[in-house]
Structure 1
Amino acid sequence: MSESSPRRLRTLWYRIPVVHQFRQSIGLQRGMLVTGLVITGFFLLVAALAPVISPYRFNQLRDVHGLFGAQNPPSAAHLLGTTSGGYDVLSRVIWGTQTAFLVIVVAILLSFFVGVFLGLLSGYLGGWLDRVLVVIADAVYAFPSLLLAIVAAIVISGGQSSLWGGVLAAAISITAVFIPQYFRVIRSETIRIKSEAFVESAKVIGASTPRIMFRHVLRNSTRTLPLILTLNSSEAILTLAGLGFLGFGIEPTSAAEWGYDLNKAVSDVTSGIWWTSVFPGLAIVLVVLGVTLVGESLNDLADPRLRTRRRAAAQTPADAMAASEPVSEAAVELP
C-alpha cells in the first residue's frame, strides 16, 4: 500500500458529513452534537437489538408462570411494571423504538424523493406548472400538520391496522406534511442555481434538459437537506406519537407504539399508577431531544455567521483551523 493511501482514507473519513461537522465544532456546538449523537445512537442500537435485549415480546401477556397481570408495579420480573392491558412496559418501550425509526425512515424517504423531484421540476421549468405546484404546496403547508396526518391516516387505514399497514399509514400521513418543506427548499435553490454560469455553459454546449436538471442543478441544490432531514425526523416521531395518542395508531397486538401506550395510561395517572406513562413518555422526549440536538448543531454549523464567531472564539490553533474549514464543499462541476 502506498503512503498516499492512508492519507486518502483519512481525507475521505474527514469528508463524512457528521465527522466533518464534528471537527469544525467547538465548545457548546460540539457538546450539543455529541450529546445528540449519543442519545440517537443509543436508541438506534436498542431498535436493532430489540429481539435480543427485550425480556418479552411486545404483545406477550403471559409466561410459564401464567398471566403477567395488569398495572403491576416495577419488580424483578417486570423491571418497569406492566400496563393496564397486561403488557410488560420495558418490552413495549424497547420494541417501540423499532416502530418509531421504521416510520421515520419510510416517511423521510417518501417525502424526500417526492418533494425534491417536484421542487426541481417546478423551479427549473417554471410556467404554469410552477404556479400550480406552489399553490398546492402552500395550501398543504398552511394546513395544521397533525390534523392533516389524522385525516390521511383515517383515509388510508381507518385508524386501525397491522404493523406494516399502520407504519405505511403513519408514514404516508407524515409524508403529506413534509413534501411541501422539501419542495420549497429545492425550488428556491433551483431558481437560484439555474441562472449560474455553469448551467448556461451546459446549455450552450447542447446538454439535454434532464441532464442539466439532475447532473448540475440537483447536486448543487441539496446541501441544506441533511439539516431538514434531522429536524423532520423529530417531527415525525411527535406526529406518530400524536396519532397513537389520539387513537389512530397501530394495534397493540401488531406492534409497540409509544403514543398508543400513553393513551391507555391517561386514566392510570389519576390513580397513582405512574410507570405506565412515565417510561413511554420519557422515550419520546429523549429520542426527540437527541435528533433535535443533532439537527440544531448541524444548522448552527451551516451558518457562516456562526462559523465566523467560532473562529474568533477558538482558543487553540488546532481549533481555529478546524473551525475555519467550510462546512460542505460545493459540488459544482462544469460539463
Structure 2
Amino acid sequence: MSNNKNIKSPVDLAQERPMRVQDVPGKTAAHHAENRMEDGGSNKGSQHQEFSLNDDRRVKVLSPGALVAKRFFRNRLAVLGMIMLIVMFVFSFIGGMISPYGEDEQFYTYTYMDKEYAGVVQNDEVRFTVADGKEFGTLLQAKLKLAMTKKETSFTEKNVKYEVTTHGDDFYSVTADGEPLAVASKDIITSAGEELPYEVKYGALTANAEEKDSFEVDGKKYKIDEEGSILDGDTIVGSIGRFIVQPAQAGTKISNEFKEAVQEAINNGAEEFVLKDEEGNENTYTITYKADSDTYSVIQETKTYVYDRYANPSKAHWLGTDTNGMDMLTRLMYGGRVSLVIGFIVVFLSCSIGVVLGGVSGYFGGWIDNLIMRIVDIFYCIPSMPLVIILGAAMDAMRVDPQIRMLYLMLILGFLGWPSIARLVRGQILSLREQEFMTATEACGISIHRRIFKHLIPNVIPQLIVMCTMSLGSTIITEATLSFLGLGVKFPFASWGNIINDVNNAYVMTHYWFIWIPAGICLLITVLGFNFVGDGLRDAFDPKMKR
C-alpha cells in the first residue's frame, strides 16, 4: 500500500501540467502568458516554454522549393533578370496582339523620283533606208560607202551596175536598172504613227537637202516645218533630223513634240525643259550628257506611289519603317515571338534527347555508356556553325518555304545541342545511382524505366533548369547570327537577327538608327535576362549557399 502512495492520478498530473494554448479555447497565447505572470505561475523565470504545433512563435521550416525561391528572390540580379524577361515576353506576345498593324503590312507614300524617260543619240554616221520590197545587204552598203568616199557615180557587184546620185554632202541615193533601191543619209526619218512609205521618206530627205519646205508624192503634198516635222495637211506624220530619240522603257510612246523639244534644248545647250503631257500637266525634264557613250539621257521627275521606306519615327510609326515600308515596332514584336519560340523549342529538343541518352548512359554504364559517350564525342567534333551555314545555303538554293525553313532550323539546332546536356545528366546519375534510395528501389522491384525517370532524373532537374536557362540566351544569339547572315528566318517572317540584316551598308547604319538599335537592345535585354536568371537559379539550387 505504501508503494501506491507515490502514484499520481491523472487529475493530479493534469493539475501539474503547464497550461498550453489549446487548453483554453478562444484565448491567445499572449493573453494566457500574461495571466500566468499575474497569477505567479510556476513557469515564471523559466528558460524553456512549450508551444503547440500551430503556435506562431515556433520556428518556421521551409520546404525545399520555398527555400530555393527564397534564395532566388534574395538575389537582386536574378530578380532584375526576371523582370527583364517578363517585359520582353509581354512586349513580344501581348504587344503583337494589340498592335494595329500586321507583321507584313506595308505602307506606301507619294514621292517625286527621277526616272530615265528617253535616250538621245546625235547621229554622225550614214544610215540606210531601203525601198519597200528591195534588198540592200551589208556588202552593197560597204560598196556604196566606198563609192561615196571616192566620189564615184557607180559601182558593180555580181554583174549588176548600181548608179549613185549625190543630193548633198550627206545624202546619196542608189538605183539599179533605173529603179530606186536605197538612200544613204545622216538625217533620219522617224514615223509618228504608221511606218512612212519609202517614197515619202525619199521626198522628205530630198526636200530637206534642197532646203525646201514642201514636197509632193503621188499627187499628195507634204510640208516640212522649222522643227523638222513632216505634215500631211495639219497632221504630223513624222519628223526629220539627226537626233535619235528612243524610250527608256518598252511601251513608252515618244511624241513629236517631245522630240522637237529635246532637239531644241540640245541645240541651245539647255540642261532642262518643260513640256505638257496629254492631260495638260507640266513635266520637267533634265538632259544629262554621257561622255563615255556620247549620248544624252532625258530624266523625268515623276510623282510615284512607292513603299514608305525608312520613314522617320512619327505618331503613326513610333520607330519608323524599314526598307520594305513595314512598321518597325510591330516587326520587333513579332520578331521577338519568333526568336523566343525558336529558343525554347531548340532547348526543349536538346534537353529531351540529352536527358534520355544521358540517363541511360549513366544508369547502365559499361558498353552502353562507352557507346553513348563516343557518340557524344563525335557530335562535339562536328563544326556546327559551318554545317548550319551549308544547310542554310542549300535551303536558299532549293527555295524552301520560309515557314518550313524555320522548322528545319529548329530541328538542326536542337539536334546539334544535346551532347552537353547528356554529359551533365550522365555525371549526376553516376553519383546518384550508388546511394541508398536507389538500393531501396531495386529491393522494391521497381522497373528500370521508373528508376531512371521517376527517381534519378528528378534529382537532376535543378541542374537541368540552370543549364537550359543559360542555353536559351546562347540559342537566341545563334539564331540571330544566322538570320543576320541571311541563313536563318526569311522574309516575310521577322526575327531580331534579320531585322538587323537590313543594315547592309554604312549609310543605312549611320542615318537610320531606328532600324538596328532597337533590335540590338531587345537582344541585349533578353539574353542578359536569361543569364541573370540562370545565375540566380544556380546560386539558389546550390546547397552550400548561405541562407
TM-score (norm 1): 0.78
Residue in structure 2 matched with residue 23 of structure 1 by the alignment: 70
Distance 1:224 1:158, change over 3 A: farther
Matched-pair identity in %: 26
- Matched residue type, 2:498: Y
Asked if residue 266 in structure 1 is aligned to residue 313 in structure 2, the reply is no
Aligned length: 294
Asked if residue 251 in structure 1 is aligned to residue 481 in structure 2, the reply is no
Paired with 1:227 and 1:135, the residues of 2 have a C-alpha distance of: 25
Q: Which moved more, 1:169-178 or 1:75-84?
A: 169-178
Paired with 1:15 and 1:175, the residues of 2 have a C-alpha distance of: 34
Paired with 2:107 and 2:338, the residues of 1 have a C-alpha distance of: 22
Paired with 2:311 and 2:482, the residues of 1 have a C-alpha distance of: 27
Matching of residues 142-221 of structure 1 within 5 Å: 142-151=381-390, 153=392, 161-162=400-401, 164-221=403-460
Matching of residues 71-82 of structure 1 within 5 Å: 71-82=310-321
Paired with 1:16 and 1:98, the residues of 2 have a C-alpha distance of: 33
Distance 1:67 1:295, change over 3 A: farther
- Matched residue type, 1:198: F
Render the CA deviation track for 1:274-297: whole Å, top value 9, x for unaligned: 211111111111111111111111
Distance 1:106 1:147, change over 3 A: same
| Structure 1: tracts of 5 or more residues without a match | 309-323, 325-335
> Is the partner of 2:425 in helix, strand or coil?
helix
Corresponding residue to 2:84 among 12, 26, 39: 39
- Matched residue type, 1:173: I
CA contact (8 A) 2:92 2:334 kept: yes
Distance 1:207 1:116, change over 3 A: same
- Matched residue type, 1:260: N
Residue in structure 2 matched with residue 59 of structure 1 by the alignment: 104
- Matched residue type, 1:183: A
Residue in structure 1 matched with residue 209 of structure 2 by the alignment: none
CA contact (8 A) 1:100 1:257 kept: yes
CA contact (8 A) 1:47 1:95 kept: yes
Higher strand share: 2
- Matched residue type, 1:225: L
Residue in structure 2 matched with residue 332 of structure 1 by the alignment: none
Paired with 2:531 and 2:447, the residues of 1 have a C-alpha distance of: 40
**Cα-Cα RMSD:** 2.9
Higher helix share: 1
Corresponding residue to 1:92 among 322, 331, 349: 331
- Deviation, structure 1 residue 76: 1.9
Render the CA deviation track for 1:28-83: whole Å, top value 9, x for unaligned: x6210111111101111123214433232121112799765111221222111111
> Is the partner of 1:223 in helix, strand or coil?
helix
Distance 1:51 1:275, change over 3 A: closer
- Deviation, structure 1 residue 222: 2.4
Give the number of the structure whose alpha-carbon radius of gyration is greater: 2
CA contact (8 A) 1:269 1:277 kept: no
Distance 1:224 1:157, change over 3 A: farther
CA contact (8 A) 1:162 1:250 kept: no
Paired with 2:64 and 2:109, the residues of 1 have a C-alpha distance of: 49
- Deviation, structure 1 residue 128: 2.4
- Matched residue type, 2:453: F
- Matched residue type, 1:23: K
Q: Which moved more, 1:267-276 or 1:103-112?
A: 267-276
Distance 1:188 1:95, change over 3 A: same
> Is the partner of 1:115 in helix, strand or coil?
helix
Asked if residue 224 in structure 1 is aligned to residue 463 in structure 2, the reply is yes
Paired with 1:236 and 1:252, the residues of 2 have a C-alpha distance of: 20
- Deviation, structure 1 residue 91: 1.0
- Matched residue type, 2:361: S
CA contact (8 A) 2:499 2:519 kept: yes
| Structure 2: tracts of 5 or more residues without a match | 1-52, 111-304
- Deviation, structure 1 residue 149: 3.7
